[in-house]
Amino acid sequence: MFVIYETATELNHLFGKGELWHLLVTSRASELSLNRRQRIFELVRLSKLADAHSVDEFNDPATAAHTQLVDIVRRIARAP
């Protein structure tokens, strides 16, 4: 019993408070939003993208920078 409890506690700590319950009980895997680590990774990508391109490139929908920006923001944005 102790091993099961400790394993569950460590997994809960690893995923974040309440996320283990959320993963196992309340949501389907296809409906899960990005976890904390994935969101941080996306924010780092956004920061690197902002360092590499100018504002004018982001404003022009025909550029690759604009497309990448929109993709990152869509992944980060949470559904209402």
Identify whether the C-beta of residue 58 lies closer than 8 Å to the C-beta of residue 69: yes
Read out DSSP for 1-60?
Answer: -HHHHHHHHHHHHHH-TTHHHIIIII--GGG----HHHHHHHHHHHHHHHHHS-HHHHH-
Identify whether the C-beta of residue 34 lies closer than 8 Å to the C-beta of residue 42: yes
With both helix axes pointing from N to C terminus, report the angle between 36-52 and 64-76 in degrees, rounded to the nearest 10: 160
The answer on pLDDT for 63 being more than 90 is yes
Residues 3-28: pLDDT tens digits? Answer: 888 887 887 777 777 777 766 766 55
In this prediction the pTM is: 0.54
- Looking at the chain, the whole-number percentage of residues with pLDDT higher than 70 is 79
